Amino acid sequence: MLVKSSLARISAATALVVLTLGVGAPHAIASAASEDLPNDEVLVGVEVEGQELDEDLPVPGEPEDTVTPKADLPDREPAGIECKPGWFFKITQNKKNTMSVKYHTFAENKTSRALDFKFTSKKSGTTEVGGSVTLSKEMKVAVLGSIKAEINVNAKKSWTSEIGVEVYGKIPAKSIVYGDYGIMKEKVSGYKYYRGSACQKSNKQDMTVWAPYREGWRVS
């Protein structure tokens, strides 16, 4: 199976592992931590039940980049120019990307030494192009086209997360490591507008929008 990113040992700091797909199996699995565990055993993630998952968890390692706003579009093009009527979206700022969490787990190390852990995604979910206000089908097409053209060519209309994706790491002594598996969202702000046949703009409305662009583990 294709591996889209290398494995990394996880420190206390938050890390993001993108689509780490099945790379070997651990020697053994320990269901609970104790001082009797051999050094070559690992802790497996425990699913967190009954917790509402976060739709806007910050994505680590991705600083907020501001798009230099271009000159605002004129309300009307020079006389004589014709345009194809329709809805458009103009990006004015690239906001901090977020993750839509589909599965949440953790592992606790109660021993006095570091132990390995393994998390495996066990639930799936879908994230679609969306916005701070309800978007019509035509508006979603305009938003996605703008994000792909100006910010992220990997943006998709819809993305469904995978089940069975694993990530490995090391838990320091007397510590807990948390894992969130989900879909990253490219998030921008700007405004939608309708362009008429005479290229005039109307129905302008500011909004924040997003589109899914990849999936992976967030480990902290």
Is residue 138 within a helix (H) or strand (E), and if so which, with residue range?
A: helix 137-150
Residue 98: closest CA among 198, 194, 185, 6: 185
**Quick one: pLDDT at residue 184?**
96
Any residues with CB less than 8 A from the CB of 87 and at least 6 apart, and which?
136, 138, 139, 142, 192, 193, 194, 195
Residue 69: closest CA among 93, 39, 45, 87: 93
- Count H helices and E strands in the chain, helices first: 1, 14
**Quick one: pLDDT at residue 48?**
79
Per DSSP, the residues of 6-31 read ------SS-EEEE--------SEEES
pLDDT at 42 over 80: yes
| Average pLDDT taken over every residue of the chain | 79
pTM for this entry: 0.75
Angle, CA 108 vertex, CA 6 and CA 58 arms, to 5°: 55
**Quick one: pLDDT at residue 125?**
94
Which token pair is 209?
A: 């929008």
Q: What is the spatial distance between Cα 113 and Cα 107, in angstroms, rounded to a whole number? A: 14
143-160 residue pLDDT tens: 999 999 999 999 999 999
Q: 166 or 75: which carries more pLDDT confidence? A: 166
Please identify which residue in the block is written with the tokens 């990849």.
Answer: 214
Q: Which of 94-98, 158-162, 198-202 has the lowest mean pLDDT?
A: 198-202
Angle, CA 4 vertex, CA 146 and CA 143 arms, to 5°: 10
